[in-house]
Amino acid sequence: MVLNSVIDAIGDTPLIELSRVCQILDLDGRILAKLDYLLPGFSKKDRAARSIIEQARADGSLIPGQTVVELTSGNMGTGLAIVCGILGHPFVAVMSAGNSVERARMMRALGAEVVIVPQAEGGKPGEVSGADLALVDDAARRITAERNAFRADQFGHAGNPKAHAAGTGPEIWAQSAGAVTAFCDFAGSGGTLAGVSGYLSPLGVRCYAVEPDGARALAGEPVRAPDHPIQGGGYAMSDLTHLNGAKLAGHLSVTGASARDAARLLARTEGIFAGFSAGANLAAAIDLLRGPERGGCIAILMCDSGLKYLSTDLWE
């Protein structure tokens, strides 16, 4: 079958059994990894980018040729650069200087204008805190107003969770033949977790939020360590619009070190070259199989490609 554009290639990613990881670690249960790093923009954010832009065009909030602006760690921006480029919308990505340089280069290659925002005082390259994100949001709001642009708003637009409720969740259920008993995801905007849990929770699947150790705001804990190396999430935001009312079975925490080790384990044992957040998801799934989900079947996402982290310490 010949597709009309690369937009039509967004979705239907493979689901892989991590049998080697489970055997090496002597885990009681199964882990299934959905390879969203194989999407055209090398991340799960392609799904939300397509959904938001298509919904906005359909309801008239985005008119033909109008500029689109969004804050991004790089993944949402890459997805939007692809979708906007094909549909004829100039795109401006607003990103913290703390994110890896590969992401900015990829967005520019895809035709995006990339605005880099300096980090907050005390910020560390390779780590993006909630304070850094707030500065990026301020810049995105200003640019949106100046250019009379459409703000994609991945933290608030309903198209984000809708993409995962209509796509990711049903795909996981069908591909696993209903074997999945739990799902966990590292929370950024909360769209993936909200959408997948919205579909899977009514089917009896227990869904968990994953946050960095020391920045478990969603779990209601004081934030004592907002800086961490897991880019794309863990911003210590206690109120994520998409997760309001979401049915969650619990909240998990991972350290930067455990996420790094798990990502490296994926590469060495399963041939899956994914990023920090994929490692965080695997580390959380391992904890679940050693704890409350022992004997179960955990589904996780491989959120983005390891190619986006070559300048970080993930692959030293």
| Pairwise CA distance, residues 162 & 149, whole Å | 23
pLDDT of residue 287: 98
Residue type at position 120: A
Residue 101's Cβ-count burial label (10 Å; 0-12, 13-18, 19+) is: middle
Specify whether 277 is catalytic: yes
Q: Are 42 and 82 in contact (CB under 8 A)?
A: no
pLDDT of residue 177: 98
Q: Which CATH class is domain 45-151?
A: alpha beta
Of these residues, 45, 51, 162, 253, which one is catalytic? 45
pTM of the model: 0.94
Secondary structure element (H or E) that encloses residue 286, with its range? helix 276-289
Residue 224's Cβ-count burial label (10 Å; 0-12, 13-18, 19+) is: exposed
| Pairwise CA distance, residues 213 & 234, whole Å | 9
Q: What are the angstrom distances between the C-alpha of 96 and each of 116, 237, 239?
A: 6, 17, 21
Task: Give the pLDDT means over successive 10-residue stretches in the chain (316 positions).
Answer: 97 98 98 98 98 98 98 93 98 92 93 95 77 91 98 96 98 98 96 98 98 90 83 81 94 96 98 97 98 98 94 86
Specify whether 51 is catalytic: no
Of these residues, 96, 129, 197, 277, which one is catalytic? 277
φ, ψ (nearest 5 deg) of residue 180: -65, 130
In the chain, where are the structural domains located? 6-42+158-315, 45-151
Q: Which CATH class is domain 6-42+158-315?
A: alpha beta
DSSP 202: G
How open is the CA angle 300-79-88, to the nearest 5 degrees?
155
pLDDT of residue 229: 82
pLDDT of residue 313: 87
Tokens of 138: 């301020």
Rg of the chain taking only CA atoms, in angstroms: 18
pLDDT of residue 88: 98
pLDDT of residue 159: 98
